[in-house]
C-alpha cells in the first residue's frame, strides 16, 4: 500500500521500505531515547563484526562498555540533542564514519536517534584517489604551462604587411575579451597560429588551449569527443568514461579548426552547448557547467554552405561574433622574405647550419603566388635547406616552382630544372609526398576533402600528414 508523509513522498509499500533499510549499503542503526537499539540493518552487523539481529534490544552504552566499539555517536546525539558525526573504532579493527541524527518531539525531547555509518576505509581510499588525481592534475597543469611556453617560442606571428598589421590590431583587441572569434582564410594562411596568439594574449593564457581539427574526427565519434561519455555509454566505450573536449578546455580556449566539416546534428548540439555552457556526457543525466572561450576557423565559404543547408544559420551567427580574415600570402608580399628568413633561422638552429638565401631566391619567393600559403613557403624553405649542399640557398639551381603559379611576368630567373634530392630514400620519399600533397591542395584551392579524394586517401589521413 502506498503512503505519504509531509517530509518525504513514498510510493513504495512498508514492506518494500523495510527491504530498503535492510539492503542499504550504509549501516543504519535506530535507537530510542534511552539508547536501546530498535533497528539494526545487515550492514551495521557487517561493519561491527557481529550478527545484526543480536544488537536489537541492547543499549548502546552497554555495547561500548563491552568493548564492541569505542564510542557511541548515537548516545552523544541523544545527550546533546544535535547531529553528531565522528569516527568509531570497532573491536575488530574496522573504522566507521558515523553520523547520528536525533529525532525530536514538539517539546524538543529526543524520540529516537538514527545513525548512518560507512566504512572509513572507503573514505580513505577515496581521499587517496582524490589526492592522486589532484597531484596528476597539478602535473598536467605544469606540463601544459611548460608546453604553452615552449610552443610560443619561435611561433611569433610575422605581420609586416599592412594587411597583417590590420589583422593583428583586431586580433589583439579581441584577445582581451571573451568574445567568440571566427577565423576565415585559405589553408595555410596561419589560422591556427592566430588562434594560439589570441589565447596567449587573453585572460585565459594560463589555462588550456585545446585545438581540435573537426575534419579529423570520424563523424560517428564526434559527439563523444566533444561532450564525453560515461562508463558503458556505448559499445567500445572506455570502462571509466571520458570527459569531452568542452570539459577538458574548461576555463580555457577551444579552437575548432575546419568547423565547416561538422555534421548537422553535431552543429545543433554544439549550438546548445555554446548558448548555455552546459554539457551532458553521453549516457549521463547530470550536467557539467563549462566555461570555454571558442575560436573557430574555416577555409570554406560558410555563406554558400548555409544557402545549401549544409551549415546552420544560427550556429554561423553564434560563431561569427568577431570575424577575422587571414589574407592569402600572395596578397601580402612584404611578409614573404621575413617569413622565409624566420623559417630558415629555425632550421639553421635545429641543424647547426649557417645557410642564407641569395637575393634571387628571395625575389623568386616574392614573385611566386603561394597557393598553399605560409605552409607551402615553410615546406619549400625546408626542402631547399635539406637538399642544398651549399650555404647559399640558390633557388635557381636547386629548386623550381610551377610556372603557372608565378605572380610576376619576369620569370627568367625561375628556370624549370629537375630537383636534386639528397638524403635517405625515406627522407626523399617523404619530401616528394609532401610536395605532391601541397600541389594537390593548391589545385583544390585548399579544399581538404576534395584534395583527399584526389589523393585517394581519407581526409583524416591527409590531416595527419599535414600536421606531421
CB atoms within 10 A of CB 142: 10
Give the three-class secondary structure for 48. Answer: helix
Number of residues that bind ligand ATP (CB under 6 A): 17
With CB under 6 A as the contact rule, the residue among 185, 208, 211, 244 that binds ligand ATP is 185
Residue number with CB closer to ligand ATP (188 or 371): 188
Residue number with CB closer to ligand ATP (40 or 295): 295
126 exposed, middle or buried (CB, 10 Å; 0-12, 13-18, 19+)?
exposed
- Using only C-alpha atoms, the chain has a radius of gyration, in whole angstroms, of 34
Give the range of 118-126, 187-195, 248-256, 349-357 binding ligand ATP by CB under 6 A: 187-195
CB 29 within 8 A of CB 55: yes
Residue number with CB closer to ligand ATP (282 or 305): 305
Tell me: does residue 187 bind ligand ATP (CB under 6 A).
yes
Site map (CB under 6 A) of ligand ATP, residues 370-409, x = contact = ----xx--x-------------------------------
With CB under 6 A as the contact rule, the residue among 192, 223, 363, 398 that binds ligand ATP is 192
CB 254 within 8 A of CB 295: yes
Site map (CB under 6 A) of ligand ATP, residues 148-167, x = contact = ---------xxx--------
Give the three-class secondary structure for 212. Answer: strand
Residue number with CB closer to ligand ATP (27 or 259): 259
Subset of residues 201 to 260 that bind ligand ATP, contact rule: CB under 6 A: 257
d(CA 225, CA 281): 10
d(CA 236, CA 129): 25
CB of 173: closest distance to ligand ATP in angstroms?
Answer: 18
C-alpha dihedral sign at 73, 45, 26, 32:
negative
CB of 159: closest distance to ligand ATP in angstroms?
Answer: 6
CB of 461: closest distance to ligand ATP in angstroms?
Answer: 15
d(CA 72, CA 68): 10
Pairing of strands 110-119, 228-229: unpaired
Tell me the H-state helices in 256-352: 264-276, 302-307, 313-319, 335-351
Residue number with CB closer to ligand ATP (116 or 213): 213
Tell me the H-state helices in 203-332: 222-227, 245-248, 264-276, 302-307, 313-319
For residue 369, which of 402, 399, 394 has the smallest C-alpha distance? 402
Q: Which residue is nearest to ligand ATP (CB)?
A: 190
Tell me: does residue 300 bind ligand ATP (CB under 6 A).
no
**Close Cβ partners of 389 (under 8 Å, ≥ 6 residues apart):** 422
Residue number with CB closer to ligand ATP (391 or 445): 445
Residue number with CB closer to ligand ATP (29 or 326): 326
d(CA 363, CA 359): 6
CB of 466: closest distance to ligand ATP in angstroms?
Answer: 6
With CB under 6 A as the contact rule, the residue among 64, 168, 170, 193 that binds ligand ATP is 193
Tell me the H-state helices in 356-394: 359-367, 373-387
Subset of residues 319 to 358 that bind ligand ATP, contact rule: CB under 6 A: 339
Subset of residues 60 to 119 that bind ligand ATP, contact rule: CB under 6 A: none
Tell me: does residue 188 bind ligand ATP (CB under 6 A).
yes
CB of 446: closest distance to ligand ATP in angstroms?
Answer: 7
Tell me: does residue 35 bind ligand ATP (CB under 6 A).
no
CB of 389: closest distance to ligand ATP in angstroms?
Answer: 25
Look at the chain and count its residues.
468
Residue number with CB closer to ligand ATP (116 or 189): 189
Name the site residues for ligand ATP (rule: CB under 6 A).
157-159, 185, 187-193, 257, 299, 339, 374-375, 378
Amino acid at each position: 500500500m502506498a503512503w505519504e508523509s509531509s517530509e518525504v513522498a513514498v510510493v513504495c509499500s512498508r514492506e518494500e521500505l523495510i527491504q530498503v533499510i535492510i539492503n542499504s549499503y550504509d549501516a543504519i542503526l535506530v535507537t530510542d531515547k534511552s539508547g536501546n537499539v530498535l533497528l539494526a540493518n545487515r550492514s551495521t552487523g557487517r561493519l561491527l563484526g557481529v550478527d545484526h539481529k543480536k544488537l536489537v534490544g541492547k543499549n548502546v552504552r552497554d555495547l561500548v562498555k563491552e568493548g564492541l566499539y569505542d564510542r557511541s555517536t548515537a548516545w552523544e546525539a541523544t545527550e546533546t540533542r544535535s547531529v553528531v558525526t565522528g569516527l568509531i573504532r570497532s573491536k575488530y579493527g574496522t573504522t566507521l564514519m558515523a553520523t547520528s541524527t536525533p529525532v525530536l518531539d514538539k517539546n524538543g525531547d529526543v524520540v529516537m536517534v538514527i545513525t548512518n555509518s560507512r566504512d572509513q576505509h572507503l573514505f580513505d581510499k577515496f581521499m587517496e584517489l582524490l589526492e592522486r588525481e589532484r597531484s596528476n592534475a597539478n602535473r598536467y597543469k605544469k606540463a601544459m604551462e611548460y608546453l604553452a611556453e615552449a610552443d610560443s617560442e619561435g611561433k611569433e606571428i610575422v605581420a609586416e604587411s599592412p594587411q597583417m598589421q590590420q589583422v593583428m590590431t583586431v586580433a589583439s583587441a579581441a584577445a582581451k575579451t571573451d568574445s567568440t572569434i571566427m577565423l576565415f582564410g585559405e589553408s595555410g594562411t596561419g589560422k591556427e597560429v592566430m588562434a594560439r596568439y589570441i589565447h596567449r594574449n587573453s585572460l585565459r593564457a594560463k589555462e588550456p588551449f585545446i585545438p581540435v581539427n573537426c575534419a579529423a574526427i570520424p563523424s560517428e565519434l564526434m559527439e563523444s569527443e566533444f561532450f564525453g561519455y560515461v562508463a558503458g555509454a556505448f559499445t567500445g566505450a572506455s570502462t571509466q568514461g571520458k570527459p569531452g573536449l568542452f570539459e577538458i578546455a574548461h576555463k580555457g580556449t577551444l579552437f575548432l579548426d575546419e568547423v565547416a566539416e561538422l555534421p548537422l546534428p553535431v552543429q545543433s548540439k554544439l549550438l546548445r552547448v555554446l548558448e548555455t555552457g552546459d554539457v551532458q556526457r553521453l549516457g549521463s543525466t547530470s550536467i557539467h557547467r563549462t566555461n570555454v572561450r571558442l575560436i573557430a576557423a574555416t577555409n570554406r565559404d560558410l555563406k554558400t554552405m548555409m544557402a545549401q543547408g549544409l551549415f546552420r544559420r544560427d550556429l554561423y551567427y553564434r560563431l561569427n561574433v568577431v570575424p577575422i580574415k587571414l589574407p592569402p600570402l600572395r596578397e601580402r608580399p612584404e611578409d614573404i622574405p621575413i617569413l622565409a628568413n624566420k623559417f630558415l633561422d629555425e632550421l639553421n638552429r635545429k641543424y647547426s647550419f649557417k645557410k642564407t638565401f641569395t637575393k634571387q631566391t628571395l625575389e623568386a619567393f616574392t614573385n611566386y603566388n603561394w597557393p598553399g600559403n605560409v605552409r607551402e613557403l615553410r615546406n619549400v624553405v625546408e626542402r631547399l635547406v635539406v637538399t642544398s649542399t651549399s650555404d647559399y640557398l640558390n633557388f635557381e639551381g636547386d629548386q623550381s616552382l610551377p610556372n603557372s603559379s608565378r605572380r610576376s611576368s619576369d620569370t627568367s630567373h625561375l628556370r624549370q630544372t629537375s630537383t636534386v634530392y639528397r638524403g635517405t630514400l625515406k627522407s626523399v620519399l617523404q619530401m616528394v609526398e609532401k610536395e605532391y600533397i601541397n600541389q594537390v591542395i593548391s589545385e583544390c584551392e585548399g579544399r581538404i576533402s576534395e584534395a583527399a579524394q584526389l589523393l585517394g586517401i581519407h581526409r583524416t589521413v591527409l590531416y595527419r600528414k599535414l600536421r606531421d
